[in-house]
Amino acid sequence: MNNEDICPSKYDNSLAAIAKPALPAFPEFGKQMRAFFSLDPNYLILNNGSFGSIPKYVSDSFYYYHLCSEFNPDRWMNYVVKELFMNTLKRFSPYIGCKDYTQLTFTQNTTTSINSALRSFQFNSGDIIVRYNTTYGGCYNSISFVCDRSEATAIDINLSFPCSSEDIIDSTLKTIEQVQAMPGKKIRLAVVDAISALPGIVFPYQKLVTIFKNLGAKVFVDAAHALGQIDLDIDSLGCDYLSTNAHKWFFTKRGCAIFYVAKELHSEVHPTTISWAYNPDLGWNQAFFSQGVTDYSAYLTLNPAMDFIEAVGGLKKIQDYNHKLALDGMELLKSKYNLEPLTTDISQIGTMFNIKLPLKSGNQNHDLIGANLSKTLLMKNASGATYKHNGNWLMRLTASIFSDATDFDHFGKLLIETINEEKNKLLH
């Protein structure tokens, strides 16, 4: 199935009157690719992991879908958009290793997905939800919310990076042993990152899924950062739920995530908004599609995003370029600017890496600089994600197909200059 099979005019001939964006010829990766994105040409963006960036072709396609929806709203909402919704998921399913595309649906983001999954449980006294201290804040808080309103208890697996994948597994097993020693306690649900947000680290998530499934627990894989960074294969993974954001590394409009729920759990899992499709005869897919009147354009940009990916040479080519650029950028910052990486373990690095900042946690002035550093850099039209972990001030940086090594060189110089400027301001 390709984009022509999912063209709106195939389902409503009158929509042929609306011009469909043409897919241009794209250059090789690097600075020349920036012209095909809507980014400020002077913006030094090394924080693509937070919000993503989309090609102009995808942005134009988003508006195209919007125009289609307005051409004849009754035909669009009643007869056209559901076909597009489902066939888009069908076309996409090989990218995520899911043969049965009816186990996939759209949500706005992974936080929305985990809220749907959490609400499907009826937690009882003694039920444990396992998460990590590095679990994304929105998901972490969602778990806390459910525990505050049920008899479930959340237990954190504490990780202090740098640590190896083996250390992550060992910490997980130790926490499991502690829970098993608690009378009347049972792990009902484990939330496992494929790639943690902060620090940006690739987890040994396949092994972690197996560990928790062998305990009889349900497993939610937070793969928000995974799609487009690393390979995903749901059918071999064996998890119960998985959600990944397409707007970070898969070039869709923001507000487009894919939510996988194993078929045998469809009767239990409902969308966060209950609407007309709350009816077992209508099914799980209809329930997630029909959550009240909305604009589906962001979801449908998964199609032009796939067009773009295929036109530039495929997802593997993108992942290989970004991974190598991340490693090269990390080495450049270390050798030229003495900015040490949090980890040099290649298995833990996808498109993102983390550097230690020349700031001392606990020093009042340094903590003030660290807390405001991302904003300070943004005022200079540059971006990186600043955070504190394990007693260190760190920054997460990202590689992108519209970047090259000179971006990391310019950023390193700007970063050191900015930190020194802020230190001097506080001394005088």
Running along the chain, 428 residues long, what does each successive block of 10 average in pLDDT?
Answer: 80 95 97 97 96 97 97 96 96 98 98 97 97 98 97 98 98 98 97 98 98 98 98 98 98 98 96 90 91 95 98 98 98 98 97 98 96 98 97 97 98 98 90
Please indicate, yes or no, if residue 156 is contained in any of the structural domains: yes
Which of 271, 305, 339 is a domain's end point?
A: 305
Please indicate, yes or no, if residue 252 is contained in any of the structural domains: yes
> Quick one: tokens of 175?
């926490």
- Opening angle at CA 206, ends 203 and 208, nearest 5: 75
Q: What is the number of structural domains in the chain?
A: 2
Q: For the chain, give me the number of helices (H) and strands (E)?
A: 17, 12
- In this structure, are 137 and 271 located in the same domain? yes
- In this structure, are 295 and 346 located in the same domain? no
Which of 268, 283, 305 is a domain's end point?
A: 305
Which of 257, 284, 305 is a domain's end point?
A: 305
- In this structure, are 279 and 388 located in the same domain? no
Question: What's residue 3's pLDDT?
Answer: 66
- In this structure, are 265 and 355 located in the same domain? no
Domain range for 338 = 315-427
Question: What's residue 256's pLDDT?
Answer: 98
Please indicate, yes or no, if residue 52 is contained in any of the structural domains: no
Look up residue 135 and give its amino acid. Answer: T
Please indicate, yes or no, if residue 379 is contained in any of the structural domains: yes
- In this structure, are 118 and 186 located in the same domain? yes
Element of type H or E holding 138: helix 137-148
> Quick one: tokens of 195?
């790639």
Question: What's residue 226's pLDDT?
Answer: 98
Choose among 335, 328, 347: nearest CA to 397: 328
Please indicate, yes or no, if residue 47 is contained in any of the structural domains: no
Cα 144 from Cα 147, distance rounded (Å): 5
Cα 324 from Cα 309, distance rounded (Å): 18
- In this structure, are 382 and 273 located in the same domain? no
What is the domain-level CATH number for residue 221? 3.40.640.10
Choose among 384, 352, 378: nearest CA to 197: 352
What is the domain-level CATH number for residue 343? 3.90.1150.170
Please indicate, yes or no, if residue 24 is contained in any of the structural domains: no
Beta bridge partners of 388: 393
Question: What's residue 280's pLDDT?
Answer: 83
Please indicate, yes or no, if residue 81 is contained in any of the structural domains: no
- In this structure, are 250 and 376 located in the same domain? no
- In this structure, are 349 and 404 located in the same domain? yes
Please indicate, yes or no, if residue 240 is contained in any of the structural domains: yes
- In this structure, are 220 and 95 located in the same domain? yes
- In this structure, are 298 and 330 located in the same domain? no
Cα 375 from Cα 58, distance rounded (Å): 28
- In this structure, are 340 and 259 located in the same domain? no
- In this structure, are 322 and 279 located in the same domain? no
Question: What's residue 210's pLDDT?
Answer: 98
Residue with the two structure tokens 């660290």: 370
Question: What's residue 1's pLDDT?
Answer: 67
Cα 258 from Cα 224, distance rounded (Å): 9
